[in-house]
């Protein structure tokens, strides 16, 4: 049994990529940033956060403001979004195999809780932790360890982005990289995750 299994939210549990791109393009058009077209996605999936911001022409200093605006816009749309296919089937089994199972996300609590309630999976998670920004997951992973009196090696983080993997490495926790979210399999593989999987069902082979 795993002591603590922690999931990212956007792109890992919730299929928010399409709506996220729509909201980004709304903000980009208003602020004069580079728009994202569907044919660019494969190339953009290779980039880390800094590379993506540079490519799009988004200043880092404005990122907190834009992220807050995006989260507010997502609030009215979140209940209409889908679960990643296959996730709902494995969550109950993973919960049985974990002492604690939670979410650590850059998204805001209102969005996460609404989505989980709509899909009837809120009770699968013993905690939801939101950082409300793109950085800081390593510190929050260490905080989760303290909360549940865990050693870092007793936590497994599941995420779909390069920044998730780097945060997990910084916090010295095991990480499962999933290829169905934002970053590509190739870009995730370069970060040397503990595990790299392509389907939610593969989580059951690990946990």
**pLDDT exceeds 80 at position 135:** no
> Given pLDDT bands bounded at 50, 70 and 90, which one contains residue 131?
confident
Output the six-digit token pair for 87.
């996730």
**Cβ pair 203, 179 in contact under 8 A:** no
**pLDDT exceeds 80 at position 179:** yes
> Which residues does 176 contact at the CB level (< 8 Å), separation at least 6?
156, 157, 158, 159, 193, 194, 195, 196, 197, 203, 206
Q: What percent of the chain has pLDDT over 70?
A: 99
Handedness of CA 18, 8, 30, 44 (dihedral sign): negative
H/E element, 140: helix 137-147
Rounded Cα distance between 36 and 16, Å, is 15
Has 8 been annotated as catalytic?
A: yes
> Given pLDDT bands bounded at 50, 70 and 90, which one contains residue 133?
low
> Which residues does 38 contact at the CB level (< 8 Å), separation at least 6?
none
Rounded Cα distance between 42 and 158, Å, is 22
> Which residues does 65 contact at the CB level (< 8 Å), separation at least 6?
none
Q: What is the pLDDT of residues 16-61, one digit of tens each?
A: 999 999 999 999 999 999 999 989 999 999 999 999 999 999 999 9
Q: Which is the catalytic residue, given 8, 15, 160, 164?
A: 8
Q: What is the pLDDT of residue 2?
A: 84
Residue 81 DSSP code: P
Q: What is the pLDDT of residues 79-124, one digit of tens each?
A: 999 999 999 999 999 999 999 999 999 999 999 999 999 999 999 9
> Given pLDDT bands bounded at 50, 70 and 90, which one contains residue 169?
very high
Q: What is the DSSP string of 61-76?
A: GGHHHHHHHHHHHHHT
State the average pLDDT over residues 122-145: 89
Arithmetic mean of pLDDT over the chain? 95
Q: What percent of the chain has pLDDT over 90?
A: 95
Percentage helix, strand, coil, to 5, in the chain?
50, 15, 30
Q: What is the pLDDT of residues 156-166, one digit of tens each?
A: 999 999 999 99
Q: What is the pLDDT of residue 136?
A: 84
| Tokens 């200043």 belong to residue | 59
Output the six-digit token pair for 176.
């499962």
């Amino acid at each position: 049994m795993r002591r603590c299994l922690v999931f990212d939210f956007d792109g890992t549990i919730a299929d928010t990529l399409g709506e996220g791109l729509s909201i980004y393009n709304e903000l980009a058009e208003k602020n004069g940033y580079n728009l994202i077209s569907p044919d660019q996605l494969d190339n953009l999936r290779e980039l880390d956060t800094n590379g993506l911001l540079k490519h799009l022409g988004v200043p880092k200093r404005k990122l907190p403001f834009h992220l807050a605006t995006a989260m507010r816009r997502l609030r009215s749309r979140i209940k209409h979004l889908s679960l990643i296919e296959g996730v709902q089937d494995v969550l109950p089994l993973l919960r049985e195999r974990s002492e604690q199972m939670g979410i650590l996300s850059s998204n805001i609590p209102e969005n996460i809780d609404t989505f989980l309630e709509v899909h009837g999976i809120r009770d699968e998670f013993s905690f939801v932790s939101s950082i409300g920004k793109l950085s800081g997951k390593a510190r929050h992973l260490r905080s989760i360890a303290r909360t549940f009196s865990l050693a870092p090696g007793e936590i497994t983080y599941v995420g779909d982005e390069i920044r998730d993997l780097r945060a997990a490495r910084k916090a010295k926790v095991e990480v499962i990289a999933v290829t169905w979210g934002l970053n590509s399999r190739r870009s995730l593989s370069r970060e040397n995750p503990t595990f790299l999987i392509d389907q939610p069902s593969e989580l059951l082979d690990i946990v």
